[in-house]
Chains A and B, each alone.
Chain A
Amino acid sequence: MSADSQVPEGLHYTKEHEWVRVEGDLAVVGLTHYAQDQLGDITYVELPEVDSELDQMGEMCVVESVKTAADVYSPLAGVVAEVNCDLEDAPELINQDCYGKGWLVKLKDFDQSGLEKLMDAAAYAGLLEEGE
């Protein structure tokens, strides 16, 4: 497996294995390839309410696989603008395309300065290597 396909450039990462992609006024949040691989087959996602306010590293949603449950934390403080409703019918999108169709939440009015606390691709890839 090549590292760049698993940890795309241009995204911000948390050590809890969430990613953030800034798209204009919105911050798109999802789970990293490593996280979905560790969870195994994902069968259910409990998404937050639209318009709910989240703290940086506060609880955002719960992702369930057959084996285990994982709390997903919001990488940034912000307000939920949109949730990925496709995951209700097809939670496996997270396994299949974690950086694309398997996104979780879009945040608006998010705290830009919070981005500084997150890792870039190189730092996150380094963290994964350390863990292995």
Chain B
Amino acid sequence: LAHGGKLVDFAGWSLPVMYGNGLIAEHLATRKHGGLFDISHMGRFMVRGPGALAWLGSMLTNDPAKLSPGRAQYTLISDQSGRPLDDAYLYQQDDERYLLVVNAANLQKDWDWLEKRPGQDVELEDVSQQLAMLALQGPESEKLLAPFLAEPLPALGRNNGGFNRIGEVDLYVSRTGYTGEPISFELFLPWDAAETVWDKLAQAGEGLGVVPVGLGARDTLRLEACLPLYGHEYKPDLPIMIMPTARWGVDLNPKRGDFMGREDLEGQAGDLAQRVYAVAALTKGMMREGSPVLMDGKEIGVMTSATTIPVWRFEGDIPGEESYVRPLGLALLESAAQTGDRVEIVYRKRVLPGKVMQAFMLTKGSYLKPIEFDGGAK
């Protein structure tokens, strides 16, 4: 491991949880400059053929008919009863060619599910071992990537992508990611070329403050951006729509045909007893997945992901030199809870005052800036 990282076993992969300088440094560097991620452990399925669009439209919760070549969308794989098998990202690369990226831990389950439900004139192939996947996320990522690309960058705007080249290496570049960063890219490239491209980007990144980032900071970055993680916010026995961001990945347009889970998802779109909320602690301390959340002394749910997350102290709309940590998380709460509500989070022997938030960060130019909340830690 060239960057002096720590390895963990994850879904059968040996992966860096962090590189040289630790998780906090990686998180902060991504927000201020940029981060380079090797996310080749994720599952990648190629879907090809004249029937690809119709089949994907029947198997996924979002409507792939809204895509065009070079566009991507968030989507979910639902079972018959509107429970999530996985959340995923679908990239339309060409007229009859799509790439579906799924979670590593669900790869086999997703594959089995999709393969058992074949469509007409559509070919499904697991290309996880042929295509590697890198992510470059953060304010300087465009400046870093652009000089390497033989073709122009994908058009400005999230979810735009296109084929490109770095040297002799053919790749697909997409303005997508899992950090919430306004400037972000994912690269799909042949497995055997990934190391060379990684080395080029890592080396050029040094001059810009862009660092290699492991799985640990990948998790805190997605959590700070209130993005869900399967197994935490999405669970196989809970309705998909408990996660508010699912609305971006579920298309219930009446003009759209039937798809797996549609009937139940329509029911869920009405009212649910619980949903996922962003919860910040208002003092120093700690909270973790499983910590009970109370309102007026009564338990109304639990944290589904939570930890202390580092953040830059901003000077205006620019990150400054100082950082601090905030206990932040996502929680599954009774759906009567509303943004601004005061709650208490129980962790070990302590009870932390907390607040239901709309978000923890907001986009300011090329940065994600922390939303300040009264009584915030420091």
Contacts and interface: CB of A to CB of B under 8 A. Distances in A.
Interface of A: 40-41, 43-44, 46, 62, 64, 66-67, 69, 88-89, 95
Residue picked from B216, B307, B349, most chain A C-beta under 10 Å: B307
20 contacts: A40-B18, A40-B22, A41-B24, A41-B25, A41-B310, A43-B310, A44-B284, A44-B285, A44-B286, A44-B308, A46-B286, A46-B349, A46-B350, A64-B308, A66-B216, A66-B220, A66-B309, A66-B310, A67-B216, A69-B286
Nearest to B21: A41
Contacts of B349: 46
A66 B284 contact: no
Contact of A40 (B216, B284, B327, B378): B216
Nearest to B308: A43
A41 B288 contact: no
Contacts of B308: 43-44, 64, 66
Contacts of B285: 44
Contacts, number: 45
Contacts of A66: 23-24, 216, 220, 307-310
Contacts of A62: 348
A40 B25 CA distance: 11
A38 to B, nearest CB: 9
Contacts of B286: 43-44, 46, 64, 69
Contacts of B216: 40, 66-67
Nearest to B24: A41
Contacts of B193: none
Nearest to A43: B308
Interface of B: 17-18, 22-25, 216, 220, 284-286, 288, 307-310, 325, 327, 348-350, 378
A89 B23 CA distance: 19
B13 to A, nearest CB: 18
Contacts of B23: 40-41, 66-67
Contacts of A44: 284-286, 308, 325, 327
Contacts of B22: 40-41, 95
A40 B284 CA distance: 18
B197 to A, nearest CB: 28
A129 B136 CA distance: 38
A62 to B, nearest CB: 7
A7 B17 CA distance: 26
Contacts of A67: 17, 23, 216, 307
B127 to A, nearest CB: 32
A95 B325 CA distance: 15
B173 to A, nearest CB: 31
A66 B18 CA distance: 12
A46 B307 contact: no
B305 to A, nearest CB: 12
Given A62-B348, A64-B308, A88-B284, A43 B18 contact: no
A64 B350 CA distance: 14
Contacts of A89: 378
A46 B348 contact: yes
A69 B287 CA distance: 10
A64 to B, nearest CB: 4
